[in-house]
Chains A and B, each alone.
Chain A
Amino acid sequence: MSLLDIKQIHGGYGGMNILNGVDLTADRDEIVVIIGPNGAGKSTLLKAAFGMLKINDGTMTFDGEDITHLRPDQLVGKGISYVPQERNVFPSMTVLENLEMGAYLRKDDYSRQMEWIFELFPRLAERRKQQAGLMSGGERQMVAMGRALMLEPKLLLLDEPTAGLSPLFIDQTFEQVKAINKTGVGILMVEQNARQALHIADRGYVLTTGRNRITDTGANLLANEEVSEVFLGG
């Protein structure tokens, strides 16, 4: 059984369903990427996995436990961390305080995890006393990922981590995602930079109108002519 197992999920924000029966699995040793056109429900699927959606049908399990109707604050203690696309830092707080808030649920000594995050993002180590709200978009993304990693999650959900970043930061972010995954943290991410994301992905899901369209390995999806033409812009 997979770490995260989503089966035939239907759900939305109260009104009409946005997800109309999606299946998805993710494991600790893989990077899974969700791509698809605007409005396909990519980010919505990620939010569903983090308990931010009203689920009307279908089931979700995490680590063998039913999580279909759990809230974010209940899920975060079970080993799922979520990085929203926007508003993903505490702007008035310093880098260090942001990381401390990420570790809020920890009662043990988390200094080693913090050191590891500073190794992964050396830029944050230089700026640990800086207010997160005053940092660049790329730096804020690092703060956001660092914050989400403080609880040593089994699965990290990333909503468009490279959105709005310069090409240099985009490459760097993908490298960091790979590095995080190597330490045994499963990655499930939604990406606009689909071609680049599929290059580092073990598996990819193509969604359209809230349904699975194509599911395959990253390499196969890149080689797939239909995917290439329709979803990767030729």
Chain B
Amino acid sequence: MIDFLQLLVYGVVLGSILTLGAIGVSLIFGILRFAHFAHGDIMTLGAFSALAVVSLGLPVLVALPIAMAITAVIAVVIDQTIYRRLRRTAPVILLISSFGMALGLRSLIQLIFGPNNQVFAKGIQMPYRWGDIVVKPDHLLIVGGAIVLVLVVHMFLSHTKMGKAMRAMSDNVDLAAACGIPAERVVMWTWILAGCLATAAGVFLGMDAQLHPVMGWNILLPVFAATILGGIGKPYGAIAGGMVIGIAMELSTMVMPPVYKPAVAFAIMVAMLIWRPQGIFKGQA
């Protein structure tokens, strides 16, 4: 029972990180109709941008918004210089180009920061204990940060003109054009939002463990699984999808070795694609 609760804690932490990545993947798919394979590496980019700021002597929480800004700008630049030219071609070409972008970003990060594990803060954090359950302060920060960001995204999508335009374009591109909604500006805001969320996911992932140039790529599969579980193109579904995948991955270690965690995410993704490709939620969203 203690094991179960402890793993549940880890699952919620992992789920928070996956959720932040999956909302971005879902938004990008909704607007641009392609699966963004470089999203994991955008997370890595965000984490290492934060590391660069932290190395100047600033705390992680101050570094986070700065890293978000850096990553969002880079994401927009990548879109404008590379993806934009390919948008009129078949979606599969965009998908492959994002795969290439993933490799490029990862190599660039490795070139600059080296191939070793790095950490935001050295030393051991004193964990909180409730009975036999252990929770690190960073865990609370990760979950709390994810909740705040999800609320911000919700407010943005439901209460701002640009947020609503994003949902409109995701619903029906042609009708959005018929309303005069400026597609390119919506696309740009989508990358800014997705870039900021990916940065938070990357930084939280680095806080939970370590930073490594492959950290984002390694988590891309669970992020895609979460996106599909929530119904691809439905950002609200991504929240539930992230939590389910995160918790399932951690709980699976009760019955099988931890190396199979990604396999659990993969199995859920395949099962969903076979039985409920539209996601766990019914109807349009």
CB-based contact A90/B178 at 8 Å: no
CB-based contact B181/A104 at 8 Å: yes
Query: What per-residue 1/0 map shows which CB atoms of A121-160 lie under 8 Å from chain B?
Result: 0000000000101100000000000011001000000000
Known: A90-B167, A92-B167, A93-B167. A50 touches B172 (CB 8 A): no
B232 to chain A, nearest CB (A): 14
CB-based contact B177/A72 at 8 Å: yes
Q: In whole angstroms, what is the CA distance A108 to B171 when docked?
A: 26
Q: In whole angstroms, what is the CA distance A35 to B16 when docked?
A: 57
Q: In whole angstroms, what is the CA distance A91 to B176 when docked?
A: 12
CB closest chain-A residue, reference B171: A90
CB-based contact A105/B180 at 8 Å: yes
Set of chain A residues within 8 Å of B180, measured between Cβ atoms: 73, 76-77, 104-105, 151
Q: Does A213 contact B (CB under 8 A)?
A: no
A34 to chain B, nearest CB (A): 19
CB closest chain-B residue, reference A91: B284
Q: In whole angstroms, what is the CA distance A88 to B178 when docked?
A: 10
Q: In whole angstroms, what is the CA distance A88 to B168 when docked?
A: 12
Q: Does A182 contact B (CB under 8 A)?
A: no
Q: In whole angstroms, what is the CA distance A84 to B177 when docked?
A: 12
CB-based contact A50/B171 at 8 Å: no
Query: What per-residue 1/0 map shows which CB atoms of B183-200 lie under 8 Å from chain A?
Result: 100000000000000000
Candidates B175, B183, B285; contact of A84 at CB < 8 Å? B175
B101 to chain A, nearest CB (A): 28
CB-based contact A97/B164 at 8 Å: yes
Set of chain A residues within 8 Å of B285, measured between Cβ atoms: 92
B253 to chain A, nearest CB (A): 37
CB-based contact B175/A89 at 8 Å: yes
A150 to chain B, nearest CB (A): 8
Q: Does B88 contact A (CB under 8 A)?
A: no
Known: A84-B175, A102-B179. A93 touches B168 (CB 8 A): yes
Within 8 A of B (CB), among A34-85: 50, 71-73, 76-77, 81-82, 84
Known: A93-B164, A104-B161, A131-B284. A76 touches B179 (CB 8 A): yes
Q: In whole angstroms, what is the CA distance A134 to B282 when docked?
A: 12
Set of chain A residues within 8 Å of B165, measured between Cβ atoms: 101, 104
Q: Does B123 contact A (CB under 8 A)?
A: no
Q: Does A100 contact B (CB under 8 A)?
A: yes
Q: Does B283 contact A (CB under 8 A)?
A: yes
Q: Does B174 contact A (CB under 8 A)?
A: yes
**What total count of A-B pairs have CB within 8 Å?**
70
Interface residues on A, range: 20 to 34
Query: What per-residue 1/0 map shows which CB atoms of B75-90 lie under 8 Å from chain A?
Result: 0000000000000000
Q: In whole angstroms, what is the CA distance A87 to B171 when docked?
A: 10
Set of chain B residues within 8 Å of A71, measured between Cβ atoms: 177
B234 to chain A, nearest CB (A): 8
CB-based contact A133/B283 at 8 Å: yes
Q: Does B182 contact A (CB under 8 A)?
A: yes
Set of chain A residues within 8 Å of B170, measured between Cβ atoms: 92
Set of chain B residues within 8 Å of A76, measured between Cβ atoms: 178-180
Q: In whole angstroms, what is the CA distance A81 to B175 when docked?
A: 11
CB-based contact A101/B176 at 8 Å: yes
Q: In whole angstroms, what is the CA distance A176 to B1 when docked?
A: 65
CB closest chain-A residue, reference B164: A97
Known: A93-B167, A101-B179. A87 touches B174 (CB 8 A): yes
A139 to chain B, nearest CB (A): 15
CB-based contact A93/B171 at 8 Å: yes
Set of chain B residues within 8 Å of A72, measured between Cβ atoms: 174, 177-178
CB-based contact A101/B181 at 8 Å: yes
CB closest chain-A residue, reference B182: A73
Minimum-distance CB pairs A-B, first 4: A90-B171, A76-B180, A91-B284, A133-B284
Of the A-B pairs whose beta carbons lie under 8 Å apart in the complex, a sample of 18, sorted by A's number, is: A73-B180, A76-B178, A87-B174, A87-B175, A88-B175, A89-B175, A90-B171, A90-B172, A91-B284, A92-B171, A100-B161, A100-B164, A101-B179, A102-B179, A104-B165, A104-B179, A133-B283, A147-B179
Q: A residues near B, CB below 8 A?
A: 50, 71-73, 76-77, 81-82, 84, 87-93, 97, 100-102, 104-105, 131, 133-134, 147-148, 151
